[in-house]
Structure 1
């Protein structure tokens, strides 16, 4: 935390100091003064010196107070603290493999999906542009989690973070699932939670692509899910390391799949059964001068390696996130006793008078 108030240090001086110490993501931050951190702590009912998790290969401790300081710097509201606490637990889960996709040369990102009633309470966007800029909760929650991990594990580019190219989505890829427009059970229900639970899920893809089906029918959507998966994305599940691919389907195409009476599991089965690719990389040898014919290999090895979520607004563009070398892991969000009062107090901070999108799916 900043020991001096903003009256003693200018905003520029504080940002310069924090940046020079490697405590920011390169963008300006809000100074984590004692007053601001104290206010942020109202959003969680754990003692400030509690260790939320130990992060990184050195298992550095992240306390509640330090998480609050990072939340202040990222621009969060105190009402976001329960989501942040659950997100940190996801990062600390060994199954997330977060240290690997935080430091690998492949430049992996942190991909977050939020489910349940918390989406509406905190105005976490799930419709048009949900993974893009403009939405305060989406951007600042992801930013705070990224900075908290970076500052706790002491991960700096060229030292621990060896991403060759880097990834612009590393700290800002968060959206809620558009449960109301989805014909399927929500993402978190698929992974064992109740529909009225609020959760946050973490995966670690290194890239994503957007694609448009050739025709707007269920069969063409299914084929497009396979055809538009880059060859570099491979998916298989296992105890040692999950390599998963997440298909984010827009509500229109999800509805067209539902018209074919396709469940999520049936969609996954189709992808696995039809994801064979011809490759000559597996048959470079020659025997007696005769060429060995190319082999057929599965791009998706099993259904557990395929994840499906419904996110997005009007339009028929879908997205494929992969390959994730960790998780996905999902954590339930726990709320303090004063959460409803805090929501009411900060209601004006999340209110926005933008062009509504209601009615597009009717």
Structure 2
């Protein structure tokens, strides 16, 4: 976490804390406090009084025994909600208090008569600075039980924090949001999990990542607290032997984790499943995947040029996350297409979850590529187009080794849905259409050296392993386009998609 070296760190001195007697808490920017300033001077003159002033250290001028509560520590620790507050201490403990101004109460409380002659009988107080929204979060972080344990990184008053974060190697190449203690505490409010809970061991260093460390990186990525449960679930999905994040980092292929969110939570946090679904402009889509990638970089040590050995890479390695259009769940605000449902079961049902569950699926994928078919109006013709596009993944003659996502936009999905084809039926037919004779795929066939071994020449070969093709419904409501997201080496020797449930944030 970051902090500025010139920040206000003053604390109320222990010697200034009350042990016995009367204590008043005031602020200059309060009409009632200004009104009772002469009363406070009168109380001090006739007995004993210590005044804690929240804003102007010279207020009230007529009182000699005053302490500037510069960091609002006294006000916060004593739960001051209204000023003026008049308190009595005995043996170091509070023995009573009154708030605002009412002459009869002040006289009874202090045992002094004739207080504030000429003043109104009653005047309500003002809100304490310690409960002002401008200060409350910072005070809770500083003095409360947030449980933050991350090391603070101090920056000098003349140091550019954004450039300093770049220089320390924390960034993916884009600007970061400084992870101040206040911002990290606010991010942690997005989950009920304790800051020191272990989320995962992050590859390649297999370093422990706590909820707090994940929150630090989520802040830097630009997430909001309501996005944080999805970040935690997505991190869990990639940090296991099944997904094999270490292997995917080390490969020279241009792949990274692709996250697909299902369930009502996608709508609730404003994710985009519609127009420009893979593009810019939606905060949740843009920052959730980025947060996971920053955790892999900053906690796990997965940096490009080191363990990350991608020969080319691709823009999605900064962060690639989107939501699926689902039946009964409208497209998220800002998507622009107003599509109200799919008619297809959501992706999470491929992994044993019920439709309507809040899940995130991690898929080891490359960048999307467009599939254009503006002529097909029957499902068989369109399925053949999809099969032809999918056969080209990585190489037309390489089969069985690579999973894929077929992202089907609404104008294409309607062709299948209106003909009664379910998502599973569509995937099955496309799989059949991607099955080809081994003689066409062996090394040397077609004058191309690449291909499968010669012993497979007499075998019909499917492009994908069983269950390796995943159809996802997303995209704008106009445009006869779909997209293919090719996978990495899949199965036991590579990486397999992982789907996990998202814990609610409240």
TM-score by length of 1: 0.83
Q: Which has the larger radius of gyration?
A: 2
The root-mean-square deviation of aligned C-alpha atoms, in Å, is: 2.4
How far has the Cα of 1:223 moved from its partner? 0.6
Alignment of 1:147-158 (within 5 A): 147-158=294-305
Residue 215 of structure 1 pairs with residue 363 of structure 2? no
Q: CA deviation at 1:5?
A: 6.0
| C-alpha contact (below 8 Å) 1:84/1:141 kept by paired residues | yes
The answer as to whether partners of 1:182 and 1:310 remain within 8 angstroms in 2 is yes
Shift of 1:57: 3.4
Q: 1:30 to 1:178 in 2, by over 3 A?
A: same
Structure 2 counterpart of 1:312: 475
Matches within 5 A, 1:177-192: 177-180=324-327, 181-192=341-352
What is aligned with 1:355?
Answer: none
Q: Which moves more between the two structures, 89-98 or 128-137?
A: 89-98
What SS does structure 2 have at the residue aligned with 1:114? Answer: strand
For residue 6 of structure 1, report the CA deviation from its aligned partner.
8.0
Contact preservation (8 Å) 1:268, 1:303: no
Offset, 1:73: 0.6
Q: Are the equivalent residues in 2 in contact too, given 1:90–1:201 (CA < 8 A)?
A: yes
Pair 1:127–1:10, CA change in 2 (3 A): farther
Partner of 2:38: none
* Structure 1 segment 189-200 matched on structure 2, within 5 A: 189-200=349-360
Unaligned runs of 5+ in 2: 8-154, 328-340, 448-456, 490-494
SS in 2 for 1:153: coil
Q: Distance in 2 between matches of 1:295 and 1:258?
A: 36
Q: In 2, are the aligned partners of 1:206 and 1:322 still within 8 Å (CA)?
A: yes
Between the aligned partners of 2:364 and 2:393, the Cα distance in structure 1 is 18
Does 2:4 correspond to 1:4?
A: yes
1:101·1:107 contact (CA, 8 Å) conserved in 2? no
Q: Distance in 1 between matches of 2:419 and 2:388?
A: 20
Separation in 2, partners of 1:95, 1:18: 33
How far residue 203 of structure 1 moved from its aligned partner, in angstroms, is 0.6
Secondary structure of 1:94 counterpart: coil
When normalised by structure 2's length, the TM-score is: 0.60
Query: Which moves more between the two structures, 136-145 or 223-232?
Result: 223-232
Distance 1:281 1:322, change over 3 A: same
| Superposition pairs of residues 105-184 of structure 1, within 5 angstroms | 105-180=252-327, 181-184=341-344
Q: CA deviation at 1:269?
A: 2.1
Residues paired across the two proteins, number: 325
2:402 is aligned with 1:243: yes
CA distances 1:185-234 after superposition (whole Å, capped 9, x unpaired): 11112321122311111011124311112423312210111111215255
Alignment partners' CA distance in 1, 2:291 and 2:480: 31
Q: 1:351 matched to which residue of 2?
A: none
Query: Contact 2:2 / 2:179 at 8 angstroms: preserved in 1?
Result: yes
3-state SS of the aligned residue for 1:324?
Answer: strand
Summarize deviations over 1:132-188 as a string: whole Å, max 9, x none. 000011001111111111111112221111111121111322110011331211111
Gaps of 5+ in 1: 237-241, 285-293, 340-362
The equivalent of 1:281 in structure 2 is: 443
Q: Which residue of 2 aligns with 1:46?
A: 193
